[in-house]
Structure 1
Amino acid sequence: MSFKRSIAAGFVVFLAICGVMSSARAEPFKIVGFGDSLMAGYGLGPDQGFTDRLQAALGAKGHDVTVANAGVSGDTTSGGLARLDWSVPDGTQLVILELGANDMLRGVSPDITKKNLDEMLSKLKQRKIAVLLAGMRAAPNLGPDYQSAFDAIFPDLAKKYDVALYPFFLDGVAGQPGMQLEDGLH
């Protein structure tokens, strides 16, 4: 099974376990992929991005879903917080929250990254929208203190808000030959 298929299968299992999808719905289940270039599909062709592939995989399993792409290349958690309210429309039932990589690449303090993600999770909770938090890992060249503080953000917030955590969004992709673009980041 390819990585992309295994990720999609993992999301199907997650959604089924959480009971958030039902085949007896009058309208499609609405998912928003909210993130940066990794969510936006930077450098990929039509229908090759994460949200397109997730919708296709869930549809192939018989789930009536729409997966909207609210990814913005280069976005940080500060930018995401600023656009969250208008990027996640009313009626959204699940947000896949994938932000933080650009904060890390810019050396933003993990405290600021955590504060911004915390505020986003709080807003989504107030709106009664389920969240799958997609984690990121710090590059080792930022030093052990930065790395440990950054890497703790995602499990800490997942526990605080009792949301599902996918610990590393690039698991199975990062460092794998042929799985990334030539820039080594995407």
Structure 2
Amino acid sequence: MKFKAALLHVIVIAGLAMTSAAGASARTLQLVGFGDSLMAGYQLPPAQSYTAQLEAALKAKGLDVAITNAGVSGDTTAGGLSRIDWSVPDGTDAVILELGANDALRGVSPDDTKKNLDAMLSRLKDRKIPVLLMGMMAPPNMGGDYGARFNAIYGSLAEEYGVPLYPFFLDGVVTQRGLQLQDGMHPNADGVGVMVEKSLPAVEQFLKGLSSAN
């Protein structure tokens, strides 16, 4: 009887362990898309924003993720820095960080833009939240010197913090009028789809790294 009781106890413990492991592996990854109007989905229905379309694309590939849209139209890196602590809640598994376009449009000093992005990366690192950094490029009308200084920010910070970099968030859209709203600056729903398609491999690789780390 004692042997049977002990055996039953072992079986129950093993079953609980397997259930716990299955629950852990099935946990939904909680991501935050943190950025400006390009992340928020300016003038688009919520379901057509970058975060919504990216979440759908990842789920279609069998990945269990939920992406919170923390994009604020018009946000600069200074604005992002002022809200990053409360816009990225505890329990966030990773952040897709996209900011800087409005800095360039307003002619903000690249030194200030870099300082703000640096501070955001530092705060997220202190909280042990991995980051995928989305690069941005200055518009040509800002001049060659400004563009060179601004465009170098993202690669420099990615190297410094050891975070993956997607070089240009608007890749494939910025010069395509058919993929933009009438303002010629923001992507339409199809444009967002192109952005998701082009960035998807980088996001998948990023998430694969998270799984390996865990």
Give TM class, smaller chain. Answer: 0.7 to 0.9
Q: Which runs of 5+ in 1 are unaligned?
A: 1-22
Secondary structure (helix, strand or coil) at the match of 1:68 reads strand
Partner Cα separation in structure 2 for residue 132 and residue 184 of structure 1: 26
Q: Percent identity?
A: 68
Letter in 1 for 2:49: G
Cα offset for 1:169? 0.2
Partner Cα separation in structure 2 for residue 146 and residue 86 of structure 1: 32
Partner Cα separation in structure 1 for residue 38 and residue 80 of structure 2: 14
Task: Choose between structure 1 and 2: higher helix proportion.
Answer: 2
Cα offset for 1:141? 1.1
Cα offset for 1:27? 2.1
Aligned to 1:91: 91
Letter in 2 for 1:114: K
Cα offset for 1:45? 1.9
Aligned to 2:108: 108
Does the CA-based 8 Å contact 2:177-2:184 persist in structure 1?
A: no
Aligned to 2:69: 69
Partner Cα separation in structure 1 for residue 70 and residue 46 of structure 2: 15
Aligned to 1:41: 41
Aligned to 1:78: 78
Partner Cα separation in structure 1 for residue 25 and residue 50 of structure 2: 24
Q: Which runs of 5+ in 2 are unaligned?
A: 1-22, 187-214
Partner Cα separation in structure 2 for residue 50 and residue 142 of structure 1: 26
Letter in 2 for 1:51: T
Q: CA RMSD in A?
A: 1.2
Partner Cα separation in structure 1 for residue 30 and residue 46 of structure 2: 21
Aligned length: 164
Secondary structure (helix, strand or coil) at the match of 2:184 reads coil
Partner Cα separation in structure 2 for residue 94 and residue 57 of structure 1: 17
Secondary structure (helix, strand or coil) at the match of 1:47 reads helix
In the TM superposition, what whole-angstrom CA distance separates every residue of 1:139-171 from its partner, at most 9, and x where no partner exists? 111111101000000000000000010000000
Does the CA-based 8 Å contact 2:132-2:166 persist in structure 1?
A: yes
